Amino acid sequence: MTELSGGALDGLVTLAGLAGLPERPASLLISVNYFGTVELLAGLRPLLAKGTDPAAVAISSNSTTCQPGLDEDLIASCLEGDEEATRALAGDGESLSTYPVTKTALSWWVRRHAPTPEWAGAGITLNAVAPGAIETPLLQEGRDHRRSGRSSRRSPRRSAATVGPRRSPRCCNTCSVPTRGSSAARCCSATAAWTRSSAATTGHDPGGLMATHDELDAVEQIKKLKARYFRCMDTKDWDGFQAVFASDATMDTTQEAPDLEVVTGAPQIRQFVEARWAGRHGASRTHARDRDHVTHYCARDLGDAGLPEDARGLAARREEPRGLGSLHRDYELIDGEWKIKTLLLTRLRRDVELA
């Protein structure tokens, strides 16, 4: 292939595969449909990296969305990468139920690898197409096999892959494109579990940032954490307030009050805020936030446009300073729960109104 291509590939579509049939060994489909495909993709990736706007398309199947009772242990074994062990697990029995297993595993493999430095990082888009019935020898073989239950005839369909990977939009990556139904929810769930497991094992997040679905979940959890921070402070729930901080968290208010020191430790932060909140009744407000990144281990907030505001009563409030500024926070994921790691108070404006 290196010689025929001149050392570079612009596009790759892995169309080869076998249909599941009663007399065809399941282990054969494991080797051809899954391991043969992923090894070909991985083996030709260096040639794609040298191509012009390179793209690869793997062929999944709409059977992944409608076949009940998929063997998830067999799918997991495929993804672990041990072909011999997976073939032994599949056995030499019928392969009708093995076909969607191989296609599901392939879709998940694509989702795992497409956003990595080796693929997306090298400028290679990698997607999977899950077509309906298309006039191919594989489909005809199923029709001709009376015991397979595939006697229906459908009009020929044009797969997204027939358009060619080079015509796919460059912004489309890591996708499994179905023509009927979708297994995206299960795919995302499994990919998220794998990404968390990999990050915990290797000590880093594959590809740098979180996958989108994980990031959105983390952002939502952090938003709830911020809400608890203000609610607990306003209601003087000091146990709850302390719980939003990491045990070794720091609070820095030295820009506002240079005579104070940085407070370290969740209990100490609680005591610091509780002492200064004594006798006050708060009505905190927070506005636009700008979070610059979220990974599996930490997140950073660039600040809120508003700060807690004393609300002891209109007359008393007119004698109090009113400040606007930002609370810059770093967050850390600890035992599956987001906590505030650092908090820095800065002022943008400070007004004093006298009665």
DSSP 148: G
Active site residues: 99
- Report how far residue 63's alpha carbon sits from residue 88's, in angstroms, rounded to the nearest whole number: 23
d(CA 343, CA 341): 7
DSSP string, 240-285: HHHHTEEEEEEEE-TTT-TTS--EESHHHHHHHHHHHHTT--B---
Strand-pairing partners, residue 14, are 58
How many CA atoms, within 13 angstroms, populate the side-chain half-sphere of residue 200?
A: 10
Alpha carbon 212 to its chain's center: 4
- Residue 99 CA, chain-centre distance (Å), reads 27
Q: How long a stretch of residues is the chain? A: 355
DSSP state letter for 23: T
